[in-house]
Amino acid sequence: MRTQVAIIGGGPAGLLLSQLLHRRGIDSVVLERKTKEYVLGRIRAGVLEQGLIRLMEEAGCAERMHAEGFTHDGTQISYGDEMFRVDFAELTGTSVMVYGQTEVTRDLYAAREAAGGKTEFNVEDVVIHNADSAAPHVSYRVGGAARRIDCDFIAGCDGFHGISRQAIPLDVRREYEKIYPFGWLGVLSETPPVNHELIYANSPRGFALCSMRNDKLSRYYVQCSLSDSPGDWTDRAFWEELKRRIPAAQADQLVTGPSIEKSIAPLRSFVTEPMRWGRLFLCGDAAHIVPPTGAKGLNTAASDVHYLYNGLRDFYENGSSRGIDSYSENALKRVWKVERFSWWFSSLLHRYPDQSEFDLKIQIAELEFLRSNKAAQLAMAENYVGLPY
């Protein structure tokens, strides 16, 4: 088989890139290790930046998002029984959208299918060949049969546990990592959200987050030990712990119910450099990971796609390699700013085992400063709604 762009990974990064390229008449094939149902079954991000919203519009996939998504003009931040609001709309003139990653991915799959896009599921043994040549190819197996795709370019959109990053030689690749000493236990429940906006909660017992997917489907998280597993937490234990970590007024309003999904995500900051090697370009979690505190994982996959899509367009439409040659540098400039914000917001809200009494005082002082200072709120809001591409 031959295509212009071979895309490894059928998550949001790979699908969005494939759909955008298709809209410009550029051919791609998506290789996905799992089934579509498995990909759609993963419960992940919930907040979209304006940049991703605009890309979904450009991809022709934004109708349901605009119909069912919720615009959020601000967020609540609580510490103990104190709570204050950061007003994104007033400070930045823009907002974010609450619309689950599952739905973004569902819309992208629907668009690819409607366009007759080629996605191979259940692929195995994907190997990247000759990425540092003008004639790269990808080999893989599906249903036991060996396959090969000859292409002009390869987009590694296969997430943190994919194979693309490893295709960049160790003497070329630099990796930067910070592992956080805790995880997030997440619960999805068919209950009305406790608040119409998100609540990011700092409490002496640890971080909590009150989020949602719609007015009948809530998403909650509590910081948990890395040694925990979802089975260690009954629904009752989760709800009782969540109530201890949010202000009493909200805890009293909390509607609990059976969990329909319960999972634990470890937290890490991770960046690999460069994000390009020859004709191979890394996108999304394949190149970088952030703690989910700042809701940046999915949104930074989107900004990578923006840079790569426009670079490939420039190559095919104008014969210019300027966009693909500057891809890694441009993407990494924004990635590191997102890493900084996600690290800062995580440091502000979580309890760390090695925190001293002084550290805890500084954390509260930082929260009080954010509460009282418009410049501090503007800096937080500009990062949260999404830095410019």
- Residues with a catalytic annotation lie at 72, 200, 292, 296, 384
Contact between residue 260 and residue 279 where contact means Cβ atoms under 8 Å apart: no
CB of 202 to ligand PHB, least distance (A): 14
Q: Residue 211 corresponds to which tokens in the numbers above?
A: 């989020």
301 binds, among ligand FAS, ligand PHB, none (CB under 5 to 8 A by kind): ligand FAS
Q: Per CB under 6 A, does 162 bind ligand PHB?
A: no
Q: Per CB under 6 A, does 386 bind ligand FAS?
A: no
Residues 42-71 that bind ligand PHB (CB under 6 A): 45-47
CB of 209 to ligand PHB, least distance (A): 6
Is 159 or 193 the residue whose CB approaches ligand FAS more closely? 159
Is 8 or 338 the residue whose CB approaches ligand PHB more closely? 338
| Options 265, 362, 364, 376; binder of ligand FAS; rule CB under 6 A | 265
Residues 342-361 that bind ligand PHB (CB under 6 A): none
| Residues 30, 115: Cα–Cα separation, whole Å | 13
| Residues 239, 245: Cα–Cα separation, whole Å | 10
In whole angstroms, how far apart are CA 38 and each of 10, 34, 56, 348? Answer: 11, 6, 22, 34
CB count in 10 Å sphere of residue 4 = 16
Over the range 346-360, which residues count as b (16 or more CB within 10 Å of their CB) and which as e? bbbbbbbeeeeeeee
| Residues 223, 243: Cα–Cα separation, whole Å | 13
Within a 13 Å sphere around the CA of 113, how many CA atoms are in the beta-carbon half?
8
293 binds, among ligand PHB, ligand FAS, none (CB under 5 to 8 A by kind): ligand PHB
10 binds, among ligand FAS, ligand PHB, none (CB under 5 to 8 A by kind): ligand FAS
Is 86 or 185 the residue whose CB approaches ligand FAS more closely? 185
Q: Residue 7 corresponds to which tokens in the numbers above?
A: 């895309």
Residues touching ligand FAS, count (CB under 6 A): 32
Q: Per CB under 6 A, does 385 bind ligand FAS?
A: no
Is 296 or 334 the residue whose CB approaches ligand PHB more closely? 296
Distance from the Cα of residue 261 to its chain's centroid:
19
| φ, ψ dihedrals at 189, nearest 5° | -140, 145
| Residues 232, 281: Cα–Cα separation, whole Å | 40
For ligand FAS, what does the binding mask look like between residues 85 and 104, x meaning CB under 6 A?
A: ----------------x---
Within a 13 Å sphere around the CA of 325, how many CA atoms are in the beta-carbon half?
5
| Options 123, 199, 208, 385; binder of ligand FAS; rule CB under 6 A | 123
Is 157 or 362 the residue whose CB approaches ligand FAS more closely? 157
Residues 286-305 that bind ligand PHB (CB under 6 A): 292-295
For ligand PHB, what does the binding mask look like between residues 175 and 214, x meaning CB under 6 A?
A: -----------------------x----------x-x---
Is 293 or 330 the residue whose CB approaches ligand PHB more closely? 293
Gap between the terminal Cα atoms of the chain: 34
| Options 31, 48, 155, 280; binder of ligand FAS; rule CB under 6 A | 31
| φ, ψ dihedrals at 365, nearest 5° | -65, -40
Q: Per CB under 6 A, does 305 bind ligand FAS?
A: no
Q: Per CB under 6 A, does 386 bind ligand PHB?
A: no
The residue number with the shortest CB distance to ligand PHB is 46
Give the footprint of ligand PHB on this chain (CB under 6 A): 45-47, 198, 209, 211, 219, 292-295
Give the footprint of ligand FAS on this chain (CB under 6 A): 8-14, 31-34, 39, 44-45, 101, 123, 126, 157-159, 161-163, 265, 284-285, 292, 295-298, 301
